[in-house]
Chain A
Amino acid sequence: MNGYSPLSYKTDLKPVWCPGCGDFGVLNSLYRALAELKIEPHDTVVVSGIGCSSRLPGYVEAYGFNSLHGRALPIATGAKLASPALKVIAVGGDGDGVAIGGNHFLHAARRNTDLTYIMMDNEIYGLTKGQAAPTTPIGDKTKSTTYGNPEAAVDPCALAISFGATWVGRGFSGDVKGTAELMKLAIAHKGFAFLDIISPCVTWRGDDQHKEIRAKLRTLPAGYDKTKRTSADAYTNEADVVTTGVLFEVEHPTLIDEILEIRWKAQGDKQPPTRKDLLKAFTPSF
C-alpha cells in the first residue's frame, strides 16, 4: 500500500446498507483510524458475526472474516492467540453481541484478550427487518413487540465494564471524526477494548433517529475519573441522554501476558519472555 489515507483502506465492494444507515459513519471512522495509526492491511484482521453491520469486513482492505451469528469474539480470540502480532478487530451489531453472542462478550472481556470490539448499536435487529433486541427500550413497538416491548434494555457499556473489559468507550456514528479518535484509542489499548457506537437504523427505528440521538449527545465532564468502575455508573443506562467518550480505562495484563507469565514461572526461567519469545511461542513453524 502506498501511503496511509482513509481511502486506501476502502475495497471495491459497495456497502449494501440502506441510505442513511449509521454504519456508513462507523466504516468511515474505521478507515480514518486505521490510516492515522498507520496500520498495514496485512497486519489487520476484521472479524464479524451476522447482521447488517457484520457486512463491514468486506468493505475494509484487510483480512476479513464474516463468521457466524454471535461468534465473532471466539474467532477473533483464536486469530489473536495464534498470531499475536496481528491487530484483531471484532465488529458486529447489538443483537449479535449481547443476545446470541452474549456469553462470548463476557468471556473475551474477563480474559482481557488483546482485541478491539466495535459494536454498531442500533437498538434493533435490522437484517431480519425490525425485531426487538436486548438494547431496544422498554415499551417500544417493533415487529416482534406488537403491543410494546415488555423487557428492560441493557447498556452494552455497563455490561463490558462489569465483565472486566479494560477499555470501554461510547461514540456516535454521526460524528465520524470523534468516533475515529475513540477507535484509535481502542485499537491502541493493550487488552480488551470495547467501543459501543450508537449507529442509527433509519429503516426500522425511524427517519429522525439521527436527529433524536444528536439532540441527546453529551460528553463526559471535566475531571471525570475513567479509572474507577463506579465513575461510569452515572453515564451508563442513561434514559434521555447519550454520553460519549472513554468511560473506563485501566491497565491490566492481557491473556497472552498471563499465559506467558504462567509458562515462565512453570519453567523456572529467570527472565521474562521477550517479544521474540512470544512470537516463537505462538507462531507455528510451518
Chain B
Amino acid sequence: MSRILATGNYAAGQALALAGEANRNARGCCAGAYPITPQTEIIEYLRGAVFTKGRIVPVESEHSAMGVCIGASMSGARAFTASSSNGLAYMTENIFAAGYYRLPIVLIAVNRTLGPPWNIWVDQGDSLALRDAAWLQFYCSTHQDLVDTILMAFRVAEDPRILLPVMVAMDGFVSSHTQMVVDVPSQELVDQYLPLCNVPQRLDHSRPATMGGLTWPRETERHRRDIQEAMERVPLVLEEAREEFYAVFGRRPDGAVAAEHTGDAETLLIASSTMAETARDVVRRRRTREEKIGLLRIKQFRPFPRAEVQQIVRGAKRIGVLDRNHSPGSGGIFWGEVAATLQGSGVLLQDYITGIGGGDVTPDVIENIIDDLNGRTASSEPLWQEVAV
C-alpha cells in the first residue's frame, strides 16, 4: 500500500490499471479511450500504463469507446473506460446496450454539466440522465472513496449474482483536478481482492451463440425483470465486497449510504459527492452548538437504497435534499427518489437545487439552506439556491 498525493483523475486511472492488470492470468483487460474534459487524464493515464495482457484502444468517439468495451467484455476481458457530459450523452446508446447485455463493464463518469450552453464544470445531470440504463451508480466524495469504490465496482459487477455494469462518478474539477492523499493498494493486494473476470455469456467457440437477437414481449419482460432481480441482490453482494475489502486492505469503504450524527437528528441533510463533504463540516460545526442536525450521504444511486434511507431518516422532523442536478419539470433527482421512498411518512421534505453548472457550494450556502429548512412549517416546490461565481 502506498500513500500518494494525487488528483482524482490520476487516482482513478491507477485503480483502473490495477484492476486491469489483476486479470492478466485470464483474458486480460481492454478499454476504448476517447478524450473529453474533465476526464481526459484518466484515459491518458491508461494509454501510458503498461499491461501484461491488455489493450487501451484510442477510438474516434465515445460511442465507439463503449463499443470497444462491449466487444472486449463479450470476449471475456475486464473492460473499462471513462467519460463526461456530452461524451456520456453520445455514448448512451451503447451504455444501454452494455446494461442489457449484462456485461460487467466499469465506467468512470467525471460529472460535468451537459451542453449547450457549453460549460465544463460539475453537475450530475450527465450521469443521472443514465439512471435507467441498467447500470449500478456510485457517487464518490473523496479520492480514497473513489479508488476503493472502483475496486469494489469490478468485484460487484463481475459477481455471477449481479453481472451488470457499474458507473463510478466523481465531481468534475472539484474531485478530478484537485489533489488529496490517497492510499493506492499494491498490485499484489488487488490481485488478492479481485477474482479473475469470468463473463459467463462470453463468446466461446465451444458454445457458438448470437448475442442480441429478436425477442417477443414475454422474453423482453423476463429480461428486464431479471435485471431488476439482479439489482435487488446488490445490497448483499456489496456488503460481502466491503467485508472482503476490509479483510484484504484493512479499511472498510462506505457502502450505499453514509450517516453522520443521524441518530437523534431532528434536522437532516441529504447530499452526495463532494457537496456531502462540505455539508459534513457544516453539520459538525452546528453539532458543537448542540443542534440536533445530521447528514445522510447517498453514495449508491442505482439501485436506490430505499431500506437504508427509510431506516436512517426515521426520527427526523425535517429533511433537506441538496441536489446538484435538475430534472426539468420535476426538480432535483435525488429529492424525487427520496420523496418516493418516504411517501406517507409525513416528514417535511424540502428540495434545494444548487451548484448547477459548477457553482461553488460553500459552507455559507449550506448554512443558509439549513436556516431556511429550520424555519419551515411546510415544504414548497423545489427551491433554487443559486450560487454566484
Contacts and interface: CB of A to CB of B under 8 A. Distances in A.
20 contacts: A50-B86, A67-B116, A68-B86, A68-B116, A99-B60, A99-B61, A100-B62, A100-B90, A127-B37, A128-B35, A129-B40, A132-B58, A144-B35, A144-B43, A144-B47, A144-B58, A145-B47, A145-B58, A146-B47, A146-B48
For B33, B47, B58, which residue has the most chain A Cβ atoms within 10 angstroms? B58
A50 B90 CA distance: 13
A204 B41 CA distance: 15
Contacts of A144: 33, 35, 43-44, 47, 58
Interface string A238-254: 00000000000000000
5 shortest interchain CB distances as A-B pairs: A128-B35, A99-B60, A100-B61, A146-B48, A131-B35
Interface of A is mostly: loop
Given A128-B37, A129-B40, A144-B43, A134 B60 contact: yes
B58 A125 contact: no
Contacts of B34: 100
B357 to A, nearest CB: 16
Contact of A131 (B44, B61, B90): B44
Contacts of A67: 116
B60 A69 contact: no
Interface string A144-164: 111000010000000000000
A127 B326 CA distance: 28
A128 B116 contact: no
Contacts of B36: 128
Interface string B58-102: 101110000000000000000000000010001000000000000
Interface string A123-138: 0010111011010000
B216 interface: no
Nearest to A98: B60
A78 to B, nearest CB: 16
A143 B60 contact: no
Interface in B7-40: 33-37, 40
Contacts, number: 46
A128 B86 contact: no
A146 B45 CA distance: 9
Contacts of A129: 40
A52 to B, nearest CB: 12
Contacts of B60: 99-100, 102, 134
Interface of B: 33-37, 40, 43-44, 47-48, 58, 60-62, 86, 90, 115-116, 118
> Looking at chain A, what size class is its interface with the partner chain?
20 to 34
Contacts of A151: 58
A270 B311 CA distance: 79
A209 to B, nearest CB: 20
A102 B37 CA distance: 21
A166 interface: no
Given A50-B86, A69-B90, A144-B47, 6 more contacts: A50-B118, A102-B60, A127-B37, A128-B36, A143-B44, A145-B47
B66 to A, nearest CB: 13
A168 B179 CA distance: 48
Interface in A50-69: 50, 66-69
A134 B58 CA distance: 10
A191 interface: no
A70 interface: yes
Interface centre among B33, B36, B61, B116 (most CB of A within 10 A): B61
B48 A131 contact: no
Contact of A125 (B35, B86, B118): B35
Nearest to B46: A144
Nearest to A136: B58
Contacts of B48: 146
A69 B86 contact: yes
A102 B40 CA distance: 21
Nearest to B56: A144
A160 B245 CA distance: 54
Given A144-B35, A146-B47, A66 B116 contact: yes
Nearest to B58: A144
Interface string A29-67: 000000000000000000000100000000000000011
Given A144-B47, A146-B47, A128 B40 contact: yes
Nearest to B89: A68
A164 B196 CA distance: 50
A132 B43 CA distance: 12
B306 to A, nearest CB: 36
A102 B90 CA distance: 14
